[in-house]
Amino acid sequence: MYLCSYLQDMARLLALDYGTKRVGIAVTDELQIIASGLCTVRAHDCMDFLKEYISKEKVDAIIMGMPKNLQDQKTDATPYVKGFAKQLRKQFPQMEIHLIDERFTSKMAFQSMIDSGLKKKARQDKALVDEISATIILQSFMEQQNFKF
């Protein structure tokens, strides 16, 4: 009985690989064990998508990849990510918003597509790369959290 009530309180984590054209989105299961790609949406549709998704699913936190260069400095994309994070905090004031380093996630996503045997045409699908990148961002966040315990 105790376990069942505990499980009812669990919620998903949601990750965004934010870009000015597309946003890759990944989520965990309710137990926050497995990160999976959810979809890719156009950047200007992202907030509406999130409002609808969060109205239907319980979400504990939103994790966003923060673009940095090899010298751990801001990139041209950093202001866009920070701006969208600010909009998220305003729209979902009760929600935790985490910004984590996303360096190499696109390269890792592309490599995972190669390793999984996807054909060249499928690997050129930028929306799929964004979704896989969001999944890598989410998995990385979950691993960081596990090391904190």
78-117, pLDDT tens digit by residue? 999 999 999 999 999 999 999 998 766 666 665 676 667 7
pLDDT tier, 33 (very low <50, low <70, confident <90, very high otherwise): very high
Residue 34 falls within a domain, yes or no? yes
pLDDT tier, 125 (very low <50, low <70, confident <90, very high otherwise): low
CATH of the domain at 119: 3.30.420.140
Residue 5 falls within a domain, yes or no? no
User: In Å, how far are 13, 82, 86, 95 from 143, measured between CA atoms?
Assistant: 13, 23, 25, 20
**Among candidates 117, 112, 109, which has minimal Cα distance to 137?**
109
Copy the structure tokens of residue 48: 């509406």
Residue 46 falls within a domain, yes or no? yes
Structural domain including 125 reads: 10-143
The pLDDT of residue 13 is 97
Residue 116 falls within a domain, yes or no? yes
The pLDDT of residue 29 is 95
Domains of the chain: total = 1
Residue 1 falls within a domain, yes or no? no
